[in-house]
Amino acid sequence: MKVRSEQLPQSLFFTILLLLALEIVASTFFPIIGLVRFRPAFNILIVLYVGFKLETPFVALVIFAIQYFHSFFSVEGWAAGTFAGIIICMIISYLREMIHFSTALVTIVVVEIFQIIWFIIASLLLYLKTDNITYVYEKFFRFIPESIIIALVAPYCFTILDRIWHSRNERKLLGDVS
């Protein structure tokens, strides 16, 4: 969907509020129930949404803002995530015409594939920085269940993000007057 420049700040603000709410839940609720090392990367889901759905020249800035606010909750740097997100969005831009989210299953599979690509890019950057493959292996085994959870909630989050990023006029055209 094309995003008008005057719509961008408001939609980005609500997207960041959603990210902050998800990050707070992930950093407080999961440890309370005993999942101390379980940290689903909701920032990746939101960046994938931006890559899949938004057509704006400000995609890199939107990714930067998302990664910056995610860095408040993560020890991993925002720079690697921003770089990985921009690379992913470049790949998506070439494949955008072939990707259609017609069902929840398609959304889940496509999100999982792109999360794996994200993991490969981020792990490569981490390995180049630390020269320690052991941490990458450990991260991979934590990544698998986290990425599956993210992929399973992707259809619901994409629906919420669609409502945030659609302008009021587009919603009226689609029959939604709320």
DSSP, residue by residue, 32-49: HTT-TT----HHHHHHHH
pLDDT score, position 168: 54
Bigger pLDDT: 1 vs 14: 14
Could you tell me if 51 and 90 are in contact, meaning their C-beta atoms sit under 8 angstroms apart?
A: no
Residues listed for the chain: 178
Q: What is the DSSP letter of 166?
A: S
CA distance 167 to 178: 12
The pLDDT score that the predictor gives to residue 157 is 95
pLDDT for position 174 = 45
pLDDT of residue 172: 42
Using alpha carbons, select from 148, 150, 109, 141 the residue that is nearest to residue 123: 141
pLDDT average, residue stretch 46-50: 95
What is the C-alpha separation between 166 and 177, in angstroms, rounded? Answer: 12
Summarised one tens digit per residue, pLDDT across range 80-104 is: 888 999 999 999 999 988 888 889 9
